Structure 1
């Protein structure tokens, strides 16, 4: 991919021309499109059609709340915005990371007593054609449980989203201190105030 001057009686000038063509091809290859941003990179090969679903998802402001693995619950959440610019729905069915023993897709709902509680979204998150999914505290988010290391503000955490077509999207999120309500990220009651904006960690 990516000989000698008189082979088979070819004149020197012909060999030089062939060499020039080869150099031109290499130059054109070097000028090809750059790799996807490391903050959102498709990781599964698959078919061209399914690859495009992962490649076209636009992820912005991905961040995770800082947390310690020594905390009582050792849990935290990942947030951000995911836009689907295609003409078909795209579903995120699961997520994984190397910094937690378990990862779930969560939503926040009201229980029978009127309390705000979190629960796993077994069917995953579907993003409509041209629509966006906003992951934020107090609403949909990616839940990390059983942290295996501290998540310190200013650092980054890598995680992978798996789509319904089997393709995967590697994402890097900034870790930030959360200055809003001090939610616990457990399956216990949470506060509606969790929707407040986080502060960037430096």
Structure 2
């Protein structure tokens, strides 16, 4: 049982680990207007560079992006949803008392200050996809709905990249 728990923890941390060597998809340069955004308001608000990590059904993955708030008011990312995962949480990677990295839920939502950018990135803040309902295969896309307290729900199409 302990081995199974360690394996699950290793897979979860791998989903949020630093970027792998570039691949053909990783080398892609996205233009200022993001072709992966489904919702036109996503690019107006400044959601860019979305992607998710490939992972098998039943496992875990993470979705990353840049959230730019060009408005004069702060907004808070309060939830995220996708039909590809049984559970979706907003997480932060941090060091615990033993010096090991661990992922913890962000309580109360993720504030995006007025006029600032928040990066959802490996080893930091991210949208954690738990209990995957299907394989996430490199080259596919994943639709993720991000719900903000002020602006409401925005749906983003994130390309899936290999580990």
TM-score band (shorter)? 0.7 to 0.9
Shift, 1:38, TM fit: 6.5
- For 2:143 and 2:66, the matched residues in 1 are separated by 16
- For 2:60 and 2:78, the matched residues in 1 are separated by 20
Aligned to 2:62: 77
1:111 aligned to which of 96, 111, 133: 96
Would you tell me which structure has more helix in proportion to its own residues? 1
Shift, 1:110, TM fit: 1.4
- For 1:108 and 1:172, the matched residues in 2 are separated by 24
- For 2:75 and 2:96, the matched residues in 1 are separated by 29
Q: Deviations along 1:149-171, whole A, 9 cap, x unmatched?
A: 00111110001011113710011
Larger Rg: 1
Query: TM-score under structure 1 normalisation?
Result: 0.60
2:54 aligned to which of 53, 60, 66: 66
Tell me which stretches of 4 or more aligned residues in structure 1 moved more than 6 Å: none
Query: TM-score under structure 2 normalisation?
Result: 0.74
Aligned to 1:151: 136
Q: 1:67–1:81: structure 2 CA closer, same or farther, 3 Å change rule?
A: same
Shift, 1:55, TM fit: 7.3
Q: Deviations along 1:64-92, whole A, 9 cap, x unmatched?
A: 0001115xxx0000001110001110110
Q: Deviations along 1:120-149, whole A, 9 cap, x unmatched?
A: 002111111110010111100000000000
CA contact (8 A) 2:36 2:158 kept: no
Give me the CA root mean square deviation.
2.0
Aligned to 1:136: 121
Name which structure has the greater RCO, CA cutoff 8 Å, separation 6+. Answer: 2
- For 2:38 and 2:118, the matched residues in 1 are separated by 15
Unaligned runs of 5+ in 1: 1-35, 43-51, 179-202
Would you tell me which structure has more strand in proportion to its own residues? 2
Q: 1:166–1:134: structure 2 CA closer, same or farther, 3 Å change rule?
A: closer
1:93 aligned to which of 78, 92, 99: 78
